[in-house]
């Protein structure tokens, strides 16, 4: 699926005062069409120095940057364009897509909601919006968006997959099963195996899930999420080598796949490849800046590199924000001891013991003494 919308404003170019900007922008458009995105970016930027208010060129530059995987820069350009012309639906869709590709679903959602509201028949926008809702656990919203789509596109497996999943999550199992059956009846599809795999993951049947996800990626190797799910099942069954390979495959199709970046970062740390670990983890953090798991892994990388003050700062802020995060308290205790602050270390250990005792008391069959 390609959502990139190249907006050509030849009329605006014709109005250019000097031939130089016109030549620049025409060449940039040709470069972009020919797939020479780096050259296009350079020329668009040169043009924008001369005409910073050229809305369409900001939008085109955003598309070229997105094509290069430079989503953060693309987002800035789209935002400038939309500030100048908020009615540009194509640019808004591109902005949403850039957020989506970075895994920043909560930021993609309001943009997609606006596109969907203004263009309710835009099937791609509806699908993307539903996918964002699904990833954020907003099952009722998935159902609301996709029920009309399902009537218009009864053969679309992506619709059936997302709507079926949301209906089952929302305890509307019989309705969900109708859609699951449709996917399964449709033959050996990646969506069917993904659905079966996720169901097995939910009941901790990791070996079963692994088999289903393997079939899903074999049927559609371009599904980044399928690779990430397959990788996760491989990790749960103890095959970290293959798991890393699949996480890397996920990143080929979705460079900002959060799970893949996080897990590869954690694995690289264990292999003492700290630079590589930081690269993955920082990319995961771009997707979810406040995710405690990523921040914790970054703190561990800092500990391993003896950057104890960096680690301390990260861990202190983590435990302040998530006081129940036992592992963060454990690592913070370790850092305090290494920083020769035994009293602080002891205090953290006491917190760990308290949290552990509380967690244990909540386990079924445990009697308090």
Question: Interface residues with another protein (CB under 8 A)?
Answer: 237-241, 267, 270-273, 326-327, 330-331, 333-334, 337-338, 340, 342, 345, 349, 352-353, 355-357, 359-360, 369
Rounded to the nearest whole angstrom, what is the least distance from the CB of residue 349 to another protein in the complex?
A: 7
Question: With contact defined as beta carbons under 8 Å apart, do 133 and 162 qualify?
Answer: no
Between 150 and 327, CB nearer to another protein: 327
Tokens of 8: 């050509």
Between 93 and 260, CB nearer to another protein: 260
Rounded to the nearest whole angstrom, what is the least distance from the CB of residue 354 to another protein in the complex?
A: 11
Between 118 and 358, CB nearer to another protein: 358
Rounded to the nearest whole angstrom, what is the least distance from the CB of residue 191 to another protein in the complex?
A: 28
* CA-to-CA separations, 260 to 109, 162, 253, in angstroms, rounded: 22, 21, 11
Between 151 and 340, CB nearer to another protein: 340
Between 215 and 269, CB nearer to another protein: 269
CA–CA distance, 261 with 265 (Å, rounded to integer): 6
Rounded to the nearest whole angstrom, what is the least distance from the CB of residue 358 to another protein in the complex?
A: 10
Rounded to the nearest whole angstrom, what is the least distance from the CB of residue 333 to another protein in the complex?
A: 7
Rounded to the nearest whole angstrom, what is the least distance from the CB of residue 239 to another protein in the complex?
A: 5
Between 58 and 329, CB nearer to another protein: 329
């Amino acid at each position: 699926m390609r959502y990139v919308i190249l907006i050509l404003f030849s009329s605006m170019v014709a109005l250019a005062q000097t031939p130089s900007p016109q030549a620049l922008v025409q060449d940039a458009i040709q470069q972009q069409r020919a797939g020479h995105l780096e050259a296009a970016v350079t020329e668009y930027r040169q043009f924008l120095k001369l005409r910073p208010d050229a809305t369409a060129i900001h939008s085109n530059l955003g598309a070229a940057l997105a094509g290069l995987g430079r989503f953060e820069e693309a987002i800035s350009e789209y935002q400038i364009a939309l500030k100048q012309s908020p009615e540009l639906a194509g640019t808004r869709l591109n902005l949403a897509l850039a957020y989506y590709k970075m895994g920043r679903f909560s930021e993609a959602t309001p943009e997609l909601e606006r596109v969907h509201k203004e263009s309710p028949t835009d099937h791609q926008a509806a699908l993307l919006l539903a996918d964002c809702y699904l990833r954020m656990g907003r099952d009722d919203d998935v159902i609301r968006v996709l029920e009309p789509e399902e009537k218009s596109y009864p053969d679309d497996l992506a619709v059936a997959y997302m709507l079926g999943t949301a209906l089952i999550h929302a305890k509307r199992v019989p309705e969900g099963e109708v859609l699951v059956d449709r996917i399964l009846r449709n033959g050996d599809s990646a969506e069917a195996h993904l659905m079966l795999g996720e169901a097995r993951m939910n009941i901790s049947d990791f070996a079963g899930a692994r088999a289903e996800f393997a079939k899903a990626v074999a049927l559609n190797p371009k599904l980044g999420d399928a690779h990430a799910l397959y990788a996760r099942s491989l990790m749960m069954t103890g095959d970290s080598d293959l798991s890393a390979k699949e996480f890397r495959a996920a990143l080929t199709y979705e460079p900002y796949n959060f799970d893949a970046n996080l897990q590869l970062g954690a694995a690289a740390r264990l292999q003492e490849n700290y630079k590589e670990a930081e690269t993955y983890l920082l990319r995961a953090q771009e997707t979810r800046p406040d995710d405690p798991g990523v921040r914790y892994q970054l703190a561990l990388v800092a500990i391993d590199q003896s950057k104890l003050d960096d680690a301390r700062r990260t861990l202190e802020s983590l435990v302040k924000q998530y006081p129940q995060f036992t592992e963060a308290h454990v690592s913070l205790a370790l850092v305090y001891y290494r920083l020769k602050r035994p009293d602080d270390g002891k205090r953290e250990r006491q917190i760990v013991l308290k949290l552990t005792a509380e967690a244990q008391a909540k386990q079924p069959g445990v009697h308090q003494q």
